[in-house]
Amino acid sequence: MTNNPPDKKEIQREYMKQYHIKNKEILSAKAKIYRENNKELIAEQMKRYTEKNKEILKQKRKEKYEKNRDAILLKEKERRAKIDKNKLSEYGKQYRKNNKESISIKRKQFREANKPRLAETNKEWRDSNHEYLLKKNKEYYDANRESLVKRSLAYLKTPMGKIVAARHHHKRHTQMKESECSLTVEQWNKIITLQENRCTICKKPFTKRNPATKDHIIPLSKGGGFTFENIQAVHSLCNNKKRNKIDPTNIVSWLQ
């Protein structure tokens, strides 16, 4: 171990330290007065400093938060518990109202930054709430049926909608031409009779209001033909919900 005599700087530093300890009160009072008299200047300096050290400060805040996460969250919870709930919700409401734009920008940034994670949680949620979602969708559709139909019809009249419709029509037309197409009227009537006039999806009977429509068991898009073997009778609403999934359990028992 070396034992050099303390250099000049070190002596000076030690002196200042002792000076500060001895005159703590006077110094802090002085600093307070200085701050009061130079508010604008200090604010300006602070602003410049934070602007200049943005990234470093951000990193430091993040580190501090991560290190003290539990304590910070607990403190925040305690703070919130003390505040009147109504007042808080009123405050939040007001804040959201006044900061609509910045909130929406921040949300968008958050979504962008957490895309894969959010997609994963969303998917998990949808999978575990499948029944609930079906019910909600149906309720929404039933309640807004007219406006929804109106909206899709209006969309089909727009330039983009026309392109989409033409593409769909063309695709379906080509698929029809390429797949087997042999279902006769008699066969179609036979299918309905074999199904005892019931929809294979919801098992409810066909009515005048909700008649039988032809549905490809293996979808046209996946090579299924318009044939006696591959057509089942379903309600059009049930059909819309089925979309393009091949469900082998749905390849109906009446075929056997």
We find the least distance from the C-beta atom of residue 80 to Zn ion, in angstroms, to be: 50
- CB nearer to Zn ion: give 175 or 195: 195
Percent helix, strand, coil in the chain, to 5, is 75, 5, 20
We find the least distance from the C-beta atom of residue 220 to Zn ion, in angstroms, to be: 20
Q: Which of 192, 194, 220, 238 binds Zn ion (CB under 5 A)?
A: 238
- 128, two tokens: 């575990």
What is the chain's alpha carbon radius of gyration, rounded to the nearest angstrom? 36
CA distance 46 to 40: 10
We find the least distance from the C-beta atom of residue 77 to Zn ion, in angstroms, to be: 50
We find the least distance from the C-beta atom of residue 103 to Zn ion, in angstroms, to be: 43
Binding flags for Zn ion, 38-77, as an x/- string (CB under 5 A): ----------------------------------------
**Residue 232: which residues within 8 A CB-CB, separation 6 or more?**
191, 195, 200, 214, 215, 217, 250, 252
CB 195 within 8 A of CB 233: yes
Half-sphere exposure of 14 (CA within 13 A, CB side): 6
- CB nearer to Zn ion: give 179 or 200: 200
Nearest CA among 198, 191, 203 for reference residue 231: 191
Q: State which amino acid sits at residue 151.
A: R
- CB nearer to Zn ion: give 161 or 241: 241
We find the least distance from the C-beta atom of residue 195 to Zn ion, in angstroms, to be: 11
215, containing H or E segment: strand 212-216
- CB nearer to Zn ion: give 161 or 239: 239
We find the least distance from the C-beta atom of residue 203 to Zn ion, in angstroms, to be: 7
Site size with Zn ion, rule: CB under 5 A = 5
Q: Which of residues 190-229 bind Zn ion (CB under 5 A)?
A: 199, 201-202
We find the least distance from the C-beta atom of residue 214 to Zn ion, in angstroms, to be: 13
- CB nearer to Zn ion: give 12 or 193: 193
Complete DSSP assignment for 100-151: HHHHHHHHHHHHHHTHHHHHHHHHHHHHHTHHHHHHHHHHHHHHHHHHHHHH
- CB nearer to Zn ion: give 161 or 237: 237
Q: Which residue is nearest to Zn ion (CB)?
A: 199
- CB nearer to Zn ion: give 238 or 252: 238
DSSP 43: H
Residues of this chain that interact with Zn ion (CB under 5 A) are 199, 201-202, 235, 238
